[in-house]
């Protein structure tokens, strides 16, 4: 089945969806498609239903009775019945669905499934029962459940959930990675691509939100910001707020905004967040869990200190909102974007692009082929190495570890430092060499550890002519974007 031209990339996802929908009579199939909002789930599954002549039903927040009514209308269209069937319960509706779909080899898509199961908690068990019956009856229904509430979709197939073990497709639709995002927006200049990605990330919907307006070049970036994300007339303007408000589990948004502001401002440990918002660390555990569950926050372990971790915001737009927009919301709403942006530009560079550039470099390292660091990366992250003799600690921005070998010391493939706005020199390399020495003392295998400098503003020439033959890898903007073409 040919992927429609309007779908950019997503070849992997389309291949699996097409295989799922392909005729394979004699047994029922269940697929689950999940992922954060705006990543293009509906776009994909709706296209699949359309290409195959299957049924697409997009649930909304509604009562059970209203949902049943809407579902029966979608079903009538699919079966070409002149009058929609009348259902009094999901039990009836699902039994009917299996009876009519079992003989039609076309997929049934139920989108925004969490809205249905929220109003009708028995729905997953009803589906389980019908799927098990369908096995016995050689019914060949292909049922695709799709949804954004990661907490609900994740639990659908987990642990003792009724549908566990019954799915043959489990697809997570993620944002485009940073090189792909640049291509999606037609951006060829890496210096522009990094800044642009620090605002809209790899979320496909945001291109539509700004009417396909892409910056024309680095010189157009400021104006692009004013035309799009800081412009109250674009949907992108309010998006960071909606992302929180649309989460069913989030009620008191004020506290959640404060947690995100803390992390965006660089207070990214649990204690740091609690201190920033004036609560005890024990009192924010629930909020952190909810934000993690809905995919807005990520917890990343410190690779050198067991049990320590930091939080990072998963969606760049939220960082941008917290640092640039939220403190000046009133001015922005009244159309004073130019003033706000002028005042915010240094914060944007230091608090938005700087940390974001680190993240881009970590993604680069994780996807690096084995000849970059002399082995395939298994884990990439930041880590802190204590230096007791000098009474200090060294923060390593990008540590790359090889897969763990039981009984062997953990191999450190690379230690790297990232600088967005500063030319990198030998002092950065010296710190990393010191960290390497200390890690060797802690039992890591550092014999082949590559020292790496990731620079957004270039490198001192002396870096490449290191005296003792110890290779220093320099990765600039060009390298970040060219390798994965």
Q: Which residues bind ligand ADP (CB under 6 A)?
A: 7-10, 35, 37-43, 148, 204-205, 208
Distance between CA atoms of residues 150 and 34, nearest Å: 7
Q: Which does 355 bind (CB under 5 to 8 A by kind): ligand ADP, Mg ion, none?
A: none
Distance between CA atoms of residues 219 and 131, nearest Å: 57
Residue 222 has phi, psi (to 5 degrees) of -60, -45
56: left (phi over 0), alpha (psi -120 to 50) or beta: beta
CB of residue 66 to Mg ion, shortest distance in Å: 19
Nearest residue (CB) to ligand ADP, 10 versus 431: 10
CB of residue 150 to Mg ion, shortest distance in Å: 13
Nearest residue (CB) to ligand ADP, 13 versus 302: 13
Residue keyed to tokens 């503003």:
457
CB of residue 111 to Mg ion, shortest distance in Å: 6
Q: In degrees, to the nearest 5, what angle opens at C-alpha 303 toward C-alphas 300 and 309? A: 35
Distance between CA atoms of residues 51 and 284, nearest Å: 47
Q: Which does 208 bind (CB under 5 to 8 A by kind): Mg ion, ligand ADP, none?
A: ligand ADP
If one asks whether residue 268 binds Mg ion (CB under 5 A), the answer comes out as no
Nearest residue (CB) to ligand ADP, 37 versus 196: 37
Q: Which does 419 bind (CB under 5 to 8 A by kind): Mg ion, ligand ADP, none?
A: none
Nearest residue (CB) to ligand ADP, 37 versus 433: 37
CB of residue 57 to ligand ADP, shortest distance in Å: 14
Contacts 24+ apart (CB under 8 A), 474-479: 474/424, 475/361, 475/364, 475/416, 477/190, 477/191, 477/194, 478/190
Nearest residue (CB) to Mg ion, 207 versus 433: 207
Q: Which residues pair with 144 in a beta bridge?
A: 31, 109
Residue showing the smallest CB distance to Mg ion in the complex: 42
If one asks whether residue 42 binds Mg ion (CB under 5 A), the answer comes out as yes
Nearest Cα to 236, choosing from 457, 61, 38, 40?
A: 38
Nearest Cα to 451, choosing from 479, 412, 421?
A: 412
Q: How far is CA 447 from CA 329, 372, 453, 470, in A?
A: 52, 16, 18, 11
CB of residue 205 to ligand ADP, shortest distance in Å: 3
CB of residue 40 to ligand ADP, shortest distance in Å: 2
Nearest residue (CB) to ligand ADP, 202 versus 416: 202
Residue showing the smallest CB distance to ligand ADP in the complex: 40
Task: Give the DSSP letter of residue 458.
Answer: -
Residue 417 has phi, psi (to 5 degrees) of -120, 145
Distance between CA atoms of residues 323 and 329, nearest Å: 11
Q: Which does 218 bind (CB under 5 to 8 A by kind): Mg ion, ligand ADP, none?
A: none
CB of residue 27 to ligand ADP, shortest distance in Å: 28
Q: Which does 7 bind (CB under 5 to 8 A by kind): ligand ADP, Mg ion, none?
A: ligand ADP
The region of 33-41, 281-289, 316-324, 460-468 touching Mg ion under the rule CB under 5 A is: 33-41
Nearest Cα to 301, choosing from 220, 235, 399, 226?
A: 399
Nearest residue (CB) to ligand ADP, 38 versus 419: 38
CB of residue 203 to ligand ADP, shortest distance in Å: 8
Please give the size of the binding site for Mg ion, defined by CB under 5 A. 2
Nearest residue (CB) to ligand ADP, 37 versus 419: 37
Can you give the binding site for Mg ion, defined by CB under 5 A? 41-42
């Amino acid at each position: 089945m040919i992927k429609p031209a309007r779908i950019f990339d997503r070849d992997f996802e389309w291949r699996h969806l097409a295989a799922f929908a392909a005729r394979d009579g004699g047994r029922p199939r269940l697929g689950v498609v999940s992922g954060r909002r705006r990543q293009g789930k509906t776009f994909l599954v709706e296209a699949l239903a359309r290409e195959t002549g299957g049924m697409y039903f997009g649930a909304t927040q509604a009562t059970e009775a209203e949902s049943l009514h809407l579902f029966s209308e979608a079903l009538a269209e699919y079966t070409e019945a002149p009058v929609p069937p009348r259902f009094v319960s999901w039990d009836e509706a699902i039994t009917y669905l299996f009876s009519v779909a079992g003989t039609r080899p076309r997929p049934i898509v139920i989108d925004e499934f969490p809205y249905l199961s929220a109003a009708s908690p028995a729905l997953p068990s009803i589906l389980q029962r019908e799927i098990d019956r369908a096995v016995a009856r050689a019914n060949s229904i292909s049922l695709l459940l799709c949804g954004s509430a990661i907490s609900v979709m994740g639990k659908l197939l987990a642990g003792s959930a009724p549908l566990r073990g019954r799915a043959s497709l489990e697809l997570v639709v993620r944002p485009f990675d940073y090189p792909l995002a640049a291509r999606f927006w037609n951006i060829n200049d890496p210096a522009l691509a990094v800044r642009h990605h620090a605002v809209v990330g790899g979320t496909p919907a945001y291109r539509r939100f700004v009417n396909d307006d892409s910056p024309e070049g680095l010189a157009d970036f400021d104006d692009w910001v004013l035309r799009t994300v800081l412009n109250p007339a674009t949907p992108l303007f309010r998006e960071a707020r909606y992302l929180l408000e649309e989460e069913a589990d989030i009620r008191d948004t004020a506290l959640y905004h404060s947690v995100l502001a803390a992390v965006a401002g660089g207070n990214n440990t649990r204690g740091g967040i609690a201190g920033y918002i004036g609560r005890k660390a024990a009192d924010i555990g629930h909020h952190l869990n909810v934000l993690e569950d809905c995919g807005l926050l990520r917890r990343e372990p410190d690779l050198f200190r067991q049990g320590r971790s930091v939080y990072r915001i998963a969606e760049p737009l939220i960082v941008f909102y917290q640092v640039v927009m939220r403190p000046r919301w009133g001015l922005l709403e009244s159309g004073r974007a130019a003033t706000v942006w002028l005042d915010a530009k240094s914060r944007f560079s230091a608090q938005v692009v700087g940390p974001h550039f680190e993240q881009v470099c970590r993604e680069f390292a994780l996807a690096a082929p084995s000849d970059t660091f002399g082995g395939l990366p298994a884990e990439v992250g930041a880590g802190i190495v204590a230096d007791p003799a000098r009474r200090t600690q060294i923060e390593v921005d990008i540590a790359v570890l090889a897969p763990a070998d039981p009984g062997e010391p953990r191999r450190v493939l690379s230690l790297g430092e990232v600088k967005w706005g500063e030319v990198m020199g030998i002092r950065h390399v010296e710190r990393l060499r010191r960290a390497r020495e200390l890690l060797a003392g802690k039992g890591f295998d550092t014999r082949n550890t590559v020292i790496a400098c990731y620079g957004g503003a270039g490198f001192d020439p002396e870096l490449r002519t290191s005296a003792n033959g110890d290779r220093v890898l320099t990765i600039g903007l060009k390298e970040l974007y060219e390798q994965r073409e």
